[in-house]
Structure formats: structure tokens, C-alpha cells
Amino acid sequence: MVPEELFSLALGLVPPWLVDHVTFTVEEKRLDLHINFPKGSRFACSVCGEECPVHDTRDHTWRHMDFFQHEAYLHARVPRVKCQEHGVHQISVPW
């Protein structure tokens, strides 16, 4: 199992979310997990739950629990969806 798959499972990510890049820096005692989704993915409108296309994304970073003695950070492009009925809304991330 490759590290990206292992960390996707450890974080409980479900499609379309996945860890697509892992950076581990021993000197800084830091683990960076980059979460992404495939092009063309659709997400639920935060108002009505209808599956909608991605309008745009914004980069976000969260501090996660330490991985042993190493600081862990999650990085993701968080999509805003364009709902035909409710306009553009940022989705809630599952972590």
C-alpha cells in the first residue's frame, strides 16, 4: 500500500476525496498531507444537498493531531459549488 492510500484510509476519506501527495520532513518533525479530488467531481450543495459542479476552489490548511512526535498538517483545495437553485456555496469538508 502506498503512503497516499494509507493516509486516505487513516483519515477516513471517501471518494471523491483522496490524499494525493505526502511530504515528510524529519528535520522539522513535520508531516504534510495534501488532499484533493479528481477533475469533474461533484459535491452536495450545502443548502439542498443536490449534487453540483465545482465553481472554484480555495486553498486551506488545518493543523491535525500529531503523527507520533511529528506535527501533521492537512492541505486541501476546498470547492465552492454552483447550485442552480441556491447559487455558489462553499462545501463543508468531512474532516
In tens, the pLDDT along 4-37 reads 999 999 999 999 999 999 999 999 999 999 999 9
Q: What are phi and psi of 7, to 5 degrees?
A: -70, -30
- Residue 95 resides in a domain: no
Residue 65 lies inside a defined structural domain of this protein: yes
The answer to whether residue 41 sits within a structural domain is yes
Average pLDDT over residues 46-59: 96
Choose among 92, 62, 95: nearest CA to 80: 92
Tell me what pLDDT residue 77 has: 96
| Confidence (pLDDT) at 1 | 82
Q: Is 63 within the bounds of a domain? A: yes
* Structural domain range at position 60: 3-90
Is 25 inside a domain boundary? Answer: yes
CB-CB contact of 95 with 63 (8 Å): no
Cβ–Cβ < 8 Å for 66, 25: no
Number of domains in the chain: 1
In a domain, 31, yes or no: yes
